[in-house]
Chain A
Amino acid sequence: MTGSRRDFLRTSAALAALAWPLTTVGAPARAWAQGDKQGGLLRISATFGLSTLNPLAHISGAEWMATRWLYSNLTRLTPKRDVVPDLAESWTAGDGGRVWTFKLRRGVQFHVGREVVADDVVATMQTILDPKTASPYRGEIGPIDRVEAVDKSTVRFTLRGPFADFPAIMTVPVARIVAREGLGDLKALAAKEFGSGPFRLREFVPGDHVTVERFAHYYRSGRPFLDAVTLKVFPEPATELTAFRARETDMIWDVSPDLYPQITATAGANALAVPGGTFANVIMPTDKPPFSDNRVREALKYTVDRTAMLAAINGGQGELANDHPVSTAYAFHARLPIRTPDLGKARSLLREAGHGSGLSFKLFAASSPPIREKMAVILKEMARPAGFDIDVEVLAYDRYLAQVWNKGVPYIGFYATRPTADAILMKLYHPKEGLDEGRWAPSHPEAIHLLEQARETLDVERRRRSYATFQKVSRDDGPFVLPFFRNELSGSWGYVRDFTLNASNFEVDLEDVWLTADAPRKKG
């Protein structure tokens, strides 16, 4: 039922696209004066997730995007994936990467009207780390042992061990710096903000929309250009697309791959695509048969025609992967030959593993996001000729979370881009710092040790070697079928200028974005 409804909506949107006259927004080439850039309302759409604005608790991309406008971090991640100053002007590592000292920019104002000081950073971090806060990310902001204010504008983090990527980890959405007075009532943080970001909160209707307005005392003078930004949830992607084409919205944050060609075909619109690190993976629990035998895992990996799968699921928008999570978006990506499909080899591996007459297993997939179900169904068909009989069970996300996720059964996982290779590798493989959903760490202590070594040294070459070895081990022996990374897709009208899509697509930096005079809401 759901499938046919979605199909209908897609098809009807496609038909309408053909029927519509081409309306062009002329984008004359000219130089723009600073004054021309000032003002206007930018309207962005998303399809889900706007329950809370609490940076300590939010877990969806749309929420991360909104808090990026309201708050500042110590550091920020550029579209080129460089870590640059935000609230912190500079930072230094001591004790081989175990102690990190951040110097704060002076005179930065919170929206509540006082200066950002080291105590705010300390209070924010301590609140995240307090188990009572139950922050989902307690484990994702580095092995912090202690955080202290050295003076008004200096913060020192002492870690449990050396950690090379610490400044990059401070870019993640949970590490937004909240004014101390906002941390007293964490419930209230869901709908109020205590940030120092380029915009301040004007209106928030949870589940529907959030509107933010320019913060006049933002530390980058003259920024932002926009007067206000609205993020609105359109649960139905086909409506979202129509609203965009009718210029009721100016930007679609995350375009589904089947609607993306229609953005490309819309005159005057910019279709944006950037390689990222987002992926879905088949998780094969290696602590029990049949996947405890690497020949079975390898056989399944050999059945996948990665190019065909990427084309079918994401319209070819993405890059092929090698069954490990380090895409080219990360600094430590290792160039290894991509595994090519080989059904003969898959069959003989299965035979060697004692499954000559075929192997059946159940594979679970949550219905959201759609990539999970698609991957499961396509894998079922691709693996069948090699002797795999996969029984795909699709279930609602709430049931998936409660009954399947991280429960040691085969299922389709889904992960967004992280700031560093370390972050995604630890999350996926490490039994303590992450989930080890594949139950792989106990049988591969040397591989896990490689990851620990790599994060603990500041020597870039040594890190590169460790990560390269790990990627090879994971490709050949790892617990995941990870066929491709999807490109992040977005769309905006030509009158939206100077927006760059980040590989971490929720990092929607609007500080330099401006609207030309022909934008529908340039005035008011």
Chain B
Amino acid sequence: MARYVVGRGLSIALVLVLISIIVFAATHVLPGSAATLILGEYATPESLRALEQELGLDRPLAVQYLAWVGGVVTGDWGYSLAMKQPVTAIVGLRLRNSAALAALTLVAVILVAIPLGTVAAVRRGRWLDLAILTGSYLGISVPEFVSGMLLILVLAGPSLHWFPTGDYAPLAAGLRAWLSHLVLPVLALTLVLVAHVVRQTRSGLIEVLRSPYVRTARLKGATERRIVLRHALRNGLLPAVTVIALDLGYLMGGIVVVEEVFAYPGMGRLILYAIQNRDVPLLQVSILIVAATYTVANFGADMLYAWLDPRIRYR
């Protein structure tokens, strides 16, 4: 087991190094440099040259990359080219915001989707199953900018105004203020994500409910409730765990639209900004964080498998 964990750790590190090289190379394939974007339509050939020199963009690519790596190794994550601030200061806030949004959304998704998926599986083919499936499909088929905007108009508009339209509040401003800003984006994201998890829970559970060991349990006279909750659910959840792990990565860096609609400063918008401004140091760190989330979440999911299904052993 220990060997497995170390091996996975090394492979995660390798993936991150490869990603940093790919991101770096890809950014330089894009037309224009940070200097082009910083100076915008005020650029002159002289100011472009001067700025590229100041930002170190006139050096060979390999030198730029190695300089960045050298910084990271010594704990210097670099300066954002466009915002002229330490990357760590800029990323810190967005990371906290994204983590809060992702955590609350995942909790909401799990609390809603797993019970719904379980009920649907137990009642498969009946009207309740149909209602749950249709409902969750509705959630996934309405794009999040539509559901997000509708939530804003109805729940944050001047008539009800139960929640703020957007923005965020730091935890220091009080739990209530912090939470109130998160409710609508969490709702919008939950609507989108619930369908995946409901489907996976339902199909996973249906399969398990057909398996010989469940039949054995039934023959032994166990109640249906005990069969589902004690025997079947643990195994039936395996596919759902994979989906939830992938959702975590998505929530940490892939929800640009929701972050824009709710004016919520998270990692998704930051990555978009970094790409649009060719802000390589900012982009590198942001992408690495998201990539690390994906890989570590997947690793976590694999560990969870072993716990849910003791037959799985990692070597």
Contacts and interface: CB of A to CB of B under 8 A. Distances in A.
A232 B54 CA distance: 30
A239 B261 contact: yes
Residue of B79, B82, B150 most packed against chain A (CB within 10 A): B82
Given A9-B149, A59-B39, A248 B167 contact: yes
A243 interface: yes
B276 A396 contact: yes
A261 interface: no
B161 A131 contact: no
A12 B150 contact: yes
A399 B83 contact: no
Interface in A19-59: 19-21, 23, 51-52, 54, 57, 59
B84 A13 contact: no
A247 B158 contact: yes
B145 interface: yes
A5 interface: yes
A214 B264 CA distance: 27
Contact of A206 (B40, B48, B83, B149): B83
Contacts of B276: 396-398
B42 A140 contact: yes
A401 interface: yes
Chain B residues touching A, majority SS: helix
B31 A234 contact: no
A235 B255 CA distance: 14
Contact of A398 (B37, B41, B263, B265): B37
Contacts of A398: 30-32, 36-37, 275-278
A235 B157 contact: no
A329 to B, nearest CB: 20
Given A23-B158, A246-B158, A396-B276, A401 B40 contact: yes
Interface in A198-239: 205-208, 232-236, 238-239
Given A236-B263, A401-B32, A134 B166 contact: no
A243 B166 contact: yes
Interface in B99-146: 143, 145-146
A109 to B, nearest CB: 26
B44 A238 contact: no
A234 B263 contact: yes
A21 B157 CA distance: 11
Interface string B145-181: 1100110110011110100111100000000000000
Nearest to A11: B149
B294 interface: no
B265 A134 contact: no
Interface string A235-270: 110111011011110000000000000000000000
Contacts of B167: 232, 243, 248
Contacts of B275: 398
Contacts of A396: 276
A80 interface: no
A23 B159 CA distance: 9
A96 interface: no
A223 B173 CA distance: 29
A434 B206 CA distance: 71
Contact of A246 (B36, B42, B44, B161): B161
A85 B43 CA distance: 30
Given A12-B149, A207-B273, A235-B269, A402 B83 contact: no
A138 B47 contact: yes
A361 interface: no
B13 to A, nearest CB: 30
A51 B165 contact: no
Interface in B77-109: 79-80, 82-85, 90, 93
A207 B46 contact: no
A187 interface: yes
Contacts of A232: 167, 263
Nearest to B276: A398
Contacts of B31: 398-399, 402-403
Interface residues of A, number: 59
B15 to A, nearest CB: 28
B85 A207 contact: no
A136 B39 contact: yes
B50 interface: yes
B262 interface: yes
A20 B262 CA distance: 20
B223 to A, nearest CB: 49
Interface in A107-138: 131-138
B156 A246 contact: yes
B263 A401 contact: no
Nearest to A434: B44
Nearest to B263: A234
Contacts of A135: 47
A232 B164 CA distance: 14
B55 to A, nearest CB: 9
B30 A8 contact: no
A377 interface: no
B289 interface: no
Given A8-B149, A134-B54, A239 B262 contact: yes
B82 to A, nearest CB: 5
B307 to A, nearest CB: 40
Given A132-B54, A238-B149, A51 B82 contact: yes
A403 B33 CA distance: 11
A28 to B, nearest CB: 21
Contacts of B270: 207
A402 B36 contact: yes
A239 B157 CA distance: 10
Given A20-B158, A132-B54, A134-B51, A401 B82 contact: no
B269 to A, nearest CB: 7
Contacts of B214: none
Q: Which 10 A-B pairs have the closest CB atoms?
A: A402-B32, A136-B42, A190-B84, A402-B31, A134-B51, A134-B50, A235-B260, A243-B165, A234-B263, A16-B153
15 contacts: A8-B146, A8-B149, A12-B149, A23-B158, A136-B38, A136-B39, A136-B47, A138-B47, A139-B44, A187-B84, A243-B165, A246-B164, A248-B164, A398-B275, A401-B36
Given A235-B263, A242-B153, 15 more contacts: A12-B150, A57-B84, A59-B41, A136-B40, A138-B47, A206-B80, A208-B265, A239-B165, A239-B261, A243-B164, A245-B157, A246-B156, A246-B157, A246-B164, A402-B36
